[in-house]
Structure 1
Amino acid sequence: MNATGPAAALTGSAPPPRTPPDAVAGRPSVARRVLGILDAFSPQRPALSLSDISRRAGLPPATAHRLVGELTRWGALERDEHGLYRIGLRLWEVAALAPRGQALREAAMPFLEDLYEATHENVQLAVLDGLEVVYIERISSRNAVHVFTRVGGRWPAHATGVGLALLAHADPALQERAIAGPLRRFTPKTICSGAELRRVLAEVRRTGVAISDGQVELIALSVAAPVYGPDDTVVAAVSIVVPSETSDARALIPAVRACARGISRALGAPHALRRPPSAAARA
């Protein structure tokens, strides 16, 4: 029999470590259960009943009721007049503190607006998160070509202009993960082979721009360029999405590059603060 308390100290033995309640029988932690509740919501299901949350999060009804109540009191969830729950504004306030979110968006907005005014097409700003891009800003007009993207939405990096611009300058290990696949196909033009993706990323690094033609929708063409941060590493990408049949990607490259360079300059990227070689030559 193991001794405990003062006797244990005298004999040199120690009581066995206490097992946290959430670790018993592989039970998920409280944090994981809370995250499961938040993950139950999606663009397709922005409002859920308590039973929906319980089922989608894989929680017993009593546990879901208790945790949803706590999240609602804190403001992470809101309950409407029909008894359905939605993501609360408190989470938006917290998300705004992310350095790759609000601060980047504020620095980029004047340049995104200029690009939009010059084209009246879809203008987007995105960051890389693993093998996906997350869109943190989008400006569009009613007559712009249809796109599936939305602020806060995610998309596989290999199929988008901003994703290719970001992957081309990402850590080599992450690039190899993307090249190893699998690469999801959306249209017949989607990059689905690792060899093709490797070639495209090399071309993006060579030219400084990424062109994604019909990869997500056959009707849409995207031209994207990387945005650099204070340490001259790529922190985001900006793109314009236009109708593929009536647009010339080459004609859009200077405007997209100028927008990306302006944002980089606002963020303090050293190379963007220097005059481009063409301007220096003219001087």
Structure 2
Amino acid sequence: MKIRNFLRFAAAGILALSFTACEDDNDSSLGASLIVTESTSGSTGGAVTISQGSSLVFVWDARKGDTDMDLFSVSVTGTNTPNPLPTSLGGRNFPYDIANADDETYIDTLIFPNAGINLGVTSYSFTVTDKDGNTDNVTFTVTVEADATPMTNEVNGAFFHIAGSLEGAYDLVNGTVVGASQPAASKDMENTDAAGDAFTGSWMAANSTMFVKDNSYDYANATVEAATSSFAAGTASATVSNPTVGDIYIAKLRGGSTYAVIKIVNVDPSDNTCNCGNTGKITFDFKK
């Protein structure tokens, strides 16, 4: 009899624990959800890069969970922080105590027209809070960068053995070959191989042009900014020895602020276009 009563009480205890567990599960509520999209980039959060002068357009869709939404806040910190925050297209100012009309579904748009006015990093954070205190948040880290200036002017150049009968120098400013009798000021690349020696394609600047070798440079997508940075990071020299196919050289032209990016296409010691004793020709492409 005692055993039967013990089993009865034990079963009741287990049942009570089961009900308690179910009640605990029911106590947890589903919070509000938030989706934010920066419409110009298509990003839904995280890192975004824009060009200087650009604007940002954020579109969001906030939905209630088990409890109506209560507050929508927007926080902006960093280089391009506006004061005050702009008003949304729906006419809302932030923080926004969500009205009854929006407390189940709140869709709106916020435009930052001066988001790209200064170079630097700005953080944009959007938070929805429901009446139970549950929150959902989306943050964007936006970097404003200067516009890149593409080098779209590409020229095919060449010069010959300096001791041959054809032009042994090249003018990178005007994109033309230069003969031995022409002024040194126009000779950005002048072959340095001696008469009777095999052609190597080596050159030196007869003016103030300087060169930096950088085979990691992205020639296909060459920009002025990348060329400037590459040249500054390298060791500049007025001479280039034994260039090979695929080599890339950044040239700072004649002591100024103009750059050319040179890619070696071919070095042919046996080229006899000159029909002379000192053969050889180097061919290259360059952008500026």
> Which structure has more strand as a fraction of its residues?
2
> Which structure has more helix as a fraction of its residues?
1
Give the TM-score normalised by the residue count of structure 2: 0.22
> Of the two structures, which has the highest relative contact order with CA contacts closer than 8 Å and spacing of 6 or more?
2
Give the TM-score normalised by the residue count of structure 1: 0.22
Instruction: Give the number of the structure whose alpha-carbon radius of gyration is greater.
Output: 2
